[in-house]
Structure formats: C-alpha cells, structure tokens
Structure 1
Amino acid sequence: METQYYVFLLTLPMLVIGAKVKTTPNPNTYVEEAIQIFNTIFHKYDLNVPPRKNFPDPLWLGVNVHVSHVTSLNLIEQSLESTIDLELTWDDNRLGWYPQNVYEIAVNKDTIWVPDISIDNAIDVPALIDDPRVVIKHEGRMYWHRRFKIKTSCVTNATALTDDCEIVIGSNLLNDRVVDFKMNDSSCDPSQAVTSHELRIDDVTVEKRGRGDG
C-alpha cells in the first residue's frame, strides 16, 4: 500500500502551490530488519534458562482456557472428554527489540524457553491437535496457543441434577518458586461446545492445583 505525503509550499503572497509526493514501502527493509532481529536476540540466548527478570520472584505465566467442545460425560468411568484451547502468555525480556517495521515474529517452540504445562487430572495422555509457533512481540511478550483433546476425571453424583467437572492446570517439572500461574480467563460457548442433547453446560471454571494439594 502506498503512503502519501502532502507538502505545501508558500512561494508568493496569497498563493499556495501543492506538491504530492508518493512513497512505496520497501519490502527488503522489512526482511533485513527481521533478519537483524533474529541475529541479535538469539545471540547467546539459552533456552534452558527460565526468563526471571525480577529474581527471586517467580515468572508469572498467564493462562487462558477455552472449552471449544465437550464430547461426552461418562458417569460410569467418571470422566469428561473435551477439546480445549490453551493460551499461555509470559515475558522474556531477552527476546525484546526496538521496532521500526517489525513488531512481532514467530518461532518454533524448540528454539526458545517454553513453560512445562500439564493437565493434572488427565486420565489419558492429552492429544495435541494444533500447536502453532510461538509469537514474540517486540516488548518481549510471548503468546503460545495450543489445542488439546483431553479426557479428565470428573467425580459425578448419580442423584445430582448438575455436576462440576474441573480442568486442573499444573506443571510437572517447575514449582511455583520458579513459575507461578495467573488464571486469567476461562470460557465456553455452550451452544457451540455441546452437540449432545443429554449434556448441558451452565458454566466453566479453571483451577490451578497447588503442589501441596492431593
């Protein structure tokens, strides 16, 4: 898209002559800046070291969970099958830069430090459906979206009209002295998530279980 600038020149009293100047963004400038960003921010970057800017405070990990589909609630097995979208955000100041044209980049998760996340009350190994690259904003904010199909334990009561099913987010390798969670949001669109007439969703909540919990 062309960027237009208008320059007005006053040459004689009561006479204004307008000159229109057109400029076209140079795609090579964008590519060169992106290459320079990669070369700079990954120089001596160690993906094995958690980004703890305010040590000894833990790294805060933002967690958003959206239940996109509920497949079944098995009253005999005491389990819930569902598909969830998990969005993780955190800050890694080692991967920030001053932007001119490039305000974000995307990288494979294997090239940067990413948090170890688990579904603590999963019965089976979660099936990863979608795992796109991690988006890095110029201020060092990381965005990682993942979609899982999971089966979680859900203790139900055969005589109850409603039951609560939890999705418990945890970490197997890191404790809350290194990484702690901010459960930012949980959501579910019942009209889209449930296709069975035998199920009805009134609400969805997401809980982080502490290490001392059972």
Structure 2
Amino acid sequence: MEMDLTERHSVWTVFCIFALCLPCLVCAEDVWLTDKYEEETEQTFELKFHKYNRWVRPPQRYVNVTVEMTVQRINYLDVPGEEMQTVIGTEMTWFDSRLSWAPIRVHQIMTNTSTVWTPDLVFLNSVSPTKSLLPGIVRIKKNGIVAWTRREVVTTSCKTQLNAEKQTCYIKLGFMSNIRERQDDRFIQQDKSFVATADDLGSHDWDLDAISLDFNTGNENVTSLPLQMDVEISVSRVNGKGRNSGNPSYSTEDSCSTNCKNFAARLFIPDHQSNTLLLFLIVSLFLVQSQ
C-alpha cells in the first residue's frame, strides 16, 4: 500500500513539473520555429537572387503570361479635351524556372518588381503618367509561378464627337519593346474566352452601352500576329446631360464589387528580346504599406 502511494506521489510530481514547464517549452518551440522560418527565408532569397539577372527573360522558348484585366471605374470623359480616365486592374502571372525551390516551411515569398523580370505591358495611348494605386510587389510561389497585381489610374486619348450623345473610346495595350522599333518578339494570343460581364459600369454622367475587345497586328509588314489589344468602351450620356470638360479627382477606392468588366488574355514573349520596364528598390510589402 505504501508503494502505491509513493508511486502516485511520483506520478503527480512529474505531472506538476511538466505542467509548470509546458508554457516554457511551447515558447521555446515558437522561438525555434520563428528562427528557422526566418533562416529559411533568408537562405531562399540568397539562393534565388544571388546570380539572378532581372534584365534577362526566363530561360524558356516562350514566356506565357496570363493577364486578367478589369475596368473598375470610369472617372471622367472629357469630350472637348478628347480624354478618358479610368481605373484599370490587371493580374499577371507567369513561370520563371529560376525562381522555384524545394521548401520546408517557406512556400511563398514577396519582393519588389525591381528585383525580378516582369512583362513590359503598357498602355499605348496614355496621354499622362499612369498613377499606380498599389505598391510594385510580386508574389513568388515555390513552383516558380510569379504573380503581379496592378491597379492604375489611366488617362487615355479618345477621339470624341462634340455634342454627340454617344461616344466610343479605346484603351490600347501593347509592349514597350514593340513601340521602340520594329519587333515581333511580343504578341498577344486571340483568346476567344474574352467576354464582358453583364454588370453595369459607368459614371454619373455616362452610362456604359458596350465593352468589347479587338486585336490589332499593328504593322502588317512586321507580323500577322496581334501586337496590340484594344478595349473598346461605348458610352451614352445620362438623361442627355454629360460633363464636357473638367478633370475631377480620381478615387482610390475599390469600386469593383459588382460593377466590373473582367477579361483574361494570354501574352507570349518569345526568346528574341528582353527589354523590360522595372521600378523602385527591394522592399517588403509590410515596409511599403507602413510608409
């Protein structure tokens, strides 16, 4: 009987000691995990970017870039000035074999666009500097898939008709490399999945009538492949009254709840040229947002 009591006391003693030490063990484990995570993150950055050249395209025959574009807002249409301002959202994804790794804890990293190669997609008919509403950050997954989310205020030229009740404007997208000289190393696939949703999109002065896409080869002497994508936006005055001039301030709010026009495109960049448009210095997403 005394042995049983002694054994019970020993068990309770061990249990109490374990209960008292458990929080310390958990804290130590958390610190260990944090240290290991940070260490692996640093090693991943050093391994992937030590000899990475952001001016050189990914080493494959074709760089297949998937682009999802959203016309989120029509800020204004200046008929006499022949300008239209919109808020455009784009999501670009592509594969870069140089940026894949075998992870233990770190399955995704983020870095600035000035660190990696990015597609040189631009608005060809913009008439003023494009204002970015998001920091230039890319997300890189362990399998080498890179994602870049952009949201920009874009002012483009529009051939308007004074006093007309209906106007048609275009937002022209193409490549920086193709507008410098005659090149055919950037082209857009004519994807038949381009569809406009039935949601209404407009402003206080203009109602949206239609939105569609057109593919332009640019110069037929260069190539028969589309070098340019035109987003056609047709609008009509609200109750016959519209704003003919003035540039109201744009909104940085995300108005794309249900009033959006969504598109998806596929861009192909063959292994000929590697001109890119890159911005800023390496910073983390937290530091950019905190500033």
Is residue 64 of structure 2 the alignment partner of residue 60 of structure 1?
yes
Task: Determine if contact 1:96/1:137 at 8 Å carries over to the other structure.
Answer: yes
1:176 and 1:140 mapped to 2: Cα distance?
Answer: 26
Q: Partner residue of 2:128?
A: 124
Q: What is the match of residue 115 of structure 2?
A: 111
The residue aligned with 1:34 is: 41
Amino acid at match of 2:66: G
Which of 33, 43, 55 aligns to 2:50? It is 43
Note the residue ranges of structure 2 that are not aligned, 5 or more in a row.
1-24, 221-227, 229-291
Distance 1:189 1:30 in 2: 46
- Paired residues, number: 187
Change in 2 beyond 3 A, CA 1:145/1:206:
farther
Provide Cα deviations, 1:107-144, integer angstroms capped at 9, x if missing partner. 11111112222101112222223233111111111111
1:72 alignment partner in structure 2: 76
Deviations 1:133-182 (A, max 9, x none): 111111111111122111112234568664432221111225542x4445
- Other-structure match for 2:150: 146
Counterpart in the other structure of 2:88? 84
TM-score, normalisation: structure 2: 0.55
Classify the secondary structure of the residue corresponding to 1:200: strand
Higher helix share: 2
Any idea what the Cα deviations from partners look like across 1:34-79, whole Å, max 9, x if unmatched? 11211111132111111141x2xx3222222112221111222232
Structure 1: runs of 5+ lacking an equivalent: 1-21
Normalized per residue, the structure richer in strand is 1
Whether 2:105 is the aligned partner of 1:98: answer no
Output the CA distance in 2 between the equivalents of 1:211 and 1:173: 13
2:44 is paired with a residue whose SS is: helix
Deviates more, 1:27-36 or 1:182-191: 182-191
2:128 aligned counterpart, secondary structure: coil
For residues 188 and 76 of structure 1, what CA distance do their matches in structure 2 show? 30
For residues 144 and 38 of structure 1, do their structure 2 counterparts lie closer, same or farther at Cα, with a shift above 3 Å needed? same
Is the alpha carbon distance of 1:181 and 1:104 closer, same or farther for their aligned partners in structure 2, counting shifts above 3 Å?
Answer: farther
Return the TM-score normalized by structure 1: 0.72
Q: Distance in 2 between matches of 1:43 and 1:207?
A: 42
Task: State the structure with more CA Rg.
Answer: 2
Is 1:67–1:188's contact at 8 Å kept on the other side of the alignment? no
Partners of 1:118 and 1:186 in 2: CA distance: 21
How do 1:146-185 and structure 2 match up within 5 A? 146-157=150-161, 162-173=166-177, 175-177=183-185, 179-181=186-188
Aligned residue type for 1:152:
T
Q: Is the 8 A contact 1:60 1:181 kept in 2?
A: no
